[in-house]
Structure 1
Amino acid sequence: MTAQPFVPPPYPYDRLDEIAALADEHPGGRVDLSIGTPCDPTPPAVLAALAEGDAARGYPPSIGTLAFRQAAARWVERRLGATVDARSEVAACVGTKEFVATVPQYLQLRDPSRDTVLYPSISYPTYAMGATLAGARAVPYTKLGDISPDDAARALCVWVNSPANPSGELHDLVEAAEWGRDHGVPVLSDECYAEFTWHPSGPTTILREGVQGVLAVHSLSKRDNFAGARIGFYAGDPELVHYLRETRKHVGLMPPGPVQQAAIVALDDDAHVEVQRQRYLGRLRVLADLLGRAGYPAELPDGAFYLWVPAPGGDAWEAARDLARRAGIVVSPGEFYGPDGDGFFRVAAVAPDDRIALAASRVTS
């Protein structure tokens, strides 16, 4: 059989033009709660650090400066309660989306006998797309215990995400680490919403279970409103970190020097994160009230800054149209996050407070 060329599917959020047009009919226009992009200011000290020194002159280290890696390690210990070696167990990435999308191809080069990426059945679409771009099998799972022995034997990695996008669920990272070690499968734990854990248990990381066979992936995009700078890091198993570091050097994947410099300032400051936590929690409450008054009961999540809302009759697209007409908001139908999400829609608490208040004022019953 002749191999077929890859045809990129439509980017999910590009499919929302119809919904956005309905929302734009309101005076004041749409309130876009679809893409989870930060809207609040980056801390001034972080922005100031971008312009300091001469970090833009030369090529920055692809693996991250030692100072950046040490700041990441300090943050992991201080905020998440785990210890990693900044020299051998931490490396930088150009925002975590590129890491998620490219790591399967590097892991396949590492072990050509395996061809499968396991990922949660309701999740960030890039887990599956990363497998597709690597020419690997993208296999969703609902529970780790339901993964078949054949799929486990073929797995390059298994993704876990806690707090989860889009649902805000907290998953059992102890179980994930144990499952990966029992099956010889690297566990990649996407923890980019860790600072926005609302459950009393507080933020955590898979690294608390030790580094063997696991990588935790973290981003400054959400924590620090620094998404445009494209900076994150991965940390964990020293053999995996070393392999990925050395492979990624050849691709030229390196966060800019000034960005690494600014990221150190961001990671070492927790005060601005607490301010951001209160912003998101307040917005989630206002949005849950708005949705309830519109006939869409929504529960506050255990983590992240999304509401994951059941659509009446399971028709998420019709719910999105209805909310666009009545409140002028743009939300994401759950099918963007896999077929199992089809009966839900996601609402991101990412518009400024005055815009969310405008949307809330439009809903009278």
Structure 2
Amino acid sequence: MINLSVGSPVDPVPASVQQALAGAADASNAHGYPATVGSADLREAIQTWFRTMRGVDLGAVNAGVVPTVGSKEAVALMASLLHLGTGDVVVQPKVSYPTYEIGTQLAGATVLKVDDVADVESWVNVPGVKAVWVNSPNNPSGGVLGAEWLAEIIAAARRIGAVVLSDECYALMDWRSARCETRGNHGIEPEQAGVQAMPSTPCALSPSVCEGTADNVLVLYSLSKQSNMAGYRTAFIAGDYRLVHAMSDYRKQIGQIIPGPVQAAMAAGLRDTQAVRTQWKRYYDRLARLVEALRAYGYRASMPDGALYVWVKTLNGDCWADMAELAKLGIVPSPGEFYGAVEYLRFSATASDEAIDAACARLASA
């Protein structure tokens, strides 16, 4: 069976990250307790990454940062750390990452699912809205929100005193520019591009989007996909200084702290932009091959705007019926029901080249 369901990276961890981890194995924050807010080196690396890769000066928008033990716990604890509960409403896309809903339920707040978060009229007048989840690029659909839509969401949330929670974990997996600047069959060559040429989707903390202030905006980012560090559990929250500071205090008390050696590895991963470009190319090539094979099989597949998945409407009208047919070929995608859309399937490009090529061969010959 070829597993194209779970988005778990399979490629090597960058050598720079491995070396940093080993080098910090006996550092002071390895045999002693590490700082919840991250080492000075890690904090500087996050600040630099935002400036060079996202075009955002965190200091200029008064944004704080705190590292998290992977992005999933950050998502799952978000509503609780914002002290939301009974009577509070958290808005999220109807088709989305399941942990948004789980985190809201853990806090005891109410989930409000909408077709499109950018349609602010669908939630702005709902009593009790305290937070709004935005996911761009979206998991599972790959959709990307333009800067103007992001700005409108933030402005509407501020009018009602709600916090925008912008999950941007796939921000550097932006394929729109690759389609516009194709070279051969598989897009631009990241290894030939400078840091500023790295594709990136709009950031909620960009001054033009957040009107120059991080107030009521929190951005999440993870190194799991850009640097193949899912097992390292390295991510962070950046945004509204007051909110981040309060969250940091609570995170310290519940032990949500990245181990010291892993903090050193995380800083190395943020700085190794060459490794990120290399991974960008791998994923783009795999997605392109997968899209072509799915089309040959009969799906109306197209290259996503972002993220690492091909999201297709089923051929049989139900994800489980299609899953059964694909299982006969030895291919396992994710059923759309997991994300709120029973009539869809999600195929992940986080598989080896050999697995992707084998899946493509099976689809093309069916």
The alignment's TM-score, normalised by the length of structure 2, stands at 0.86
Any idea what SS the aligned residue of 1:138 has?
strand
Distance, in Å, in 1 between the alignment partners of 2:66 and 2:240 is 11
Quote the Cα distance in structure 2 between the aligned partners of 1:82 and 1:64: 20
Residues 297/49 of structure 1: CA separation in 2 closer, same or farther (3 Å cut): same
Query: Do the aligned partners of 2:91 and 2:123 also contact (CA within 8 Å) in 1?
Result: no
Distance in 1, Cα, partners of 2:359 & 2:63: 48
SS of residue matched to 2:249: helix
Secondary structure of the structure 2 residue equivalent to 1:39: coil
> Within 5 A, what are the aligned runs for 1:91-130?
91-108=66-83, 114-130=87-103
Q: Percent identity?
A: 41
**Are 1:185 and 2:162 counterparts?**
yes
Alignment partners' CA distance in 2, 1:190 and 1:284: 22
Alignment partner of 2:225 out of 222, 225, 228: 222
- In the superposition, relative to structure 1, how do residues 113 and 315 fare at CA in structure 2: closer, same or farther (>3 Å)? closer
Matched, 1:173 2:124: no
Q: Which one of the candidate residues 328, 331, 344 is aligned to 1:329? A: 331
Q: Secondary structure at the match of 1:56?
A: helix
Find the counterpart in structure 2 of residue 9 from structure 1: none
Partner Cα separation in structure 2 for residue 168 and residue 336 of structure 1: 16
1:137 aligned residue: 110
Moved more, 210-219 or 48-57: 48-57
Q: Counterpart amino acid of 1:66?
A: A
SS of residue paired to 2:140? coil
Q: 2:5 aligns with which of 13, 28, 34?
A: 34
Rounded to whole Å, the distance in 2 between the matches of 1:303 and 1:115 is 31
Q: CA separation in 1, counterparts of 2:135 and 2:283?
A: 19
Which of residues 159, 168, 174 is equivalent to 1:197? 174
Report whether the alignment pairs 1:74 with 2:74: no
1:311-326 matched pairs, under 5 angstroms: 311-326=314-329
Structure 1: unaligned runs, 5 residues or longer? 1-29
The answer as to whether partners of 1:42 and 1:226 remain within 8 angstroms in 2 is yes
Question: Does the CA-based 8 Å contact 1:158-1:187 persist in structure 2?
Answer: yes
User: Is the 8 Å Cα contact of residues 12 and 228 (structure 2) preserved in structure 1?
Assistant: yes
Quote how far apart the aligned CAs of 1:362 are.
2.1
Amino acid at match of 1:317: W
Query: Within 1, Cα distance between the matches of 2:86 and 2:160?
Result: 15
Report what 1:293 is aligned to.
296
User: 1:344: which partner in 2?
Assistant: 344
Q: Deviations over 1:259-305 (max 9, x none)?
A: 00011111011111111111111111111122112111201000001
Structure 2 residue matching 1:195: 3-state secondary structure? coil
Contact 2:144 2:201 in 1 (8 A): no
Residue 204 of structure 1, CA deviation: 2.6
8 Å CA contact 2:69–2:257 kept in 1: the answer is: yes
User: Out of 38, 49, 52, which is 2:23 matched to?
Assistant: 52
Shift of 1:67: 1.5
**Pairwise CA RMSD of aligned residues?**
1.8
Q: Is the 8 A contact 1:31 1:355 kept in 2?
A: yes
Structure 2 gaps of 5+ residues are 178-198
Matched, 1:303 2:316: no
Q: How many residues align?
A: 330
The CA distance in 1 between the partners of 2:158 and 2:222, in whole Å, is 25
1:118 is matched by which residue type in structure 2? Answer: V
Which amino acid in structure 2 is aligned with residue 362 of structure 1?
R
Q: TM-score, normalised by structure 1?
A: 0.86
Change (3 A) 1:212 1:179: same
- Compare 59-68 and 217-226 and name the one that shifted more: 59-68
For the pair 1:257 / 2:267, whether they are aligned, the reply is no
Distance in structure 2 (CA, Å) of the matches to 1:71 and 1:176: 29
CA distance in 1 between partners of 2:115 and 2:43 (Å): 34
State the 1:88 CA deviation: 6.1
Deviation, structure 1 residue 150: 5.4
Indicate the residue corresponding to 2:37 in structure 1.
63
Please tell me the residue identity of whatever aligns with 1:71: A
Distance 1:117 1:123 in 2: 13
Which of 100, 122, 125 is residue 147 of structure 1 equivalent to? 122
Describe how 1:224-243 pairs up with structure 2 within 5 A.
Answer: 224-243=227-246
Match of 1:16 in 2: none
> Do 1:158 and 1:186's aligned partners in 2 also have CA atoms closer than 8 Å?
yes
**Residue aligned with 1:37, SS:** coil
- Shift in CA distance, 146/303, structure 1 to aligned 2, threshold 3 Å: same
- Distance (Å, rounded) in 1 between the aligned partners of 2:70 and 2:274: 22
| Structure 1 residue aligned with 2:196 | none
Alignment partners' CA distance in 1, 2:251 and 2:342: 36
CA–CA separation in structure 2 for the residues paired with 1:357 and 1:199: 23
Query: Contact between 1:108 and 1:114, CA under 8 Å: does it hold in 2?
Result: no
The question of whether the paired residues in 2 share the 8 Å contact of 1:104 and 1:156 is answered with: no
2:216 pairs with 213, 216, 222, which one? Answer: 213
The CA deviation string for residues 35-92 of structure 1, in whole angstroms up to 9 with x for no partner, is 1111111101101111114141111111211221111111111111111139961111
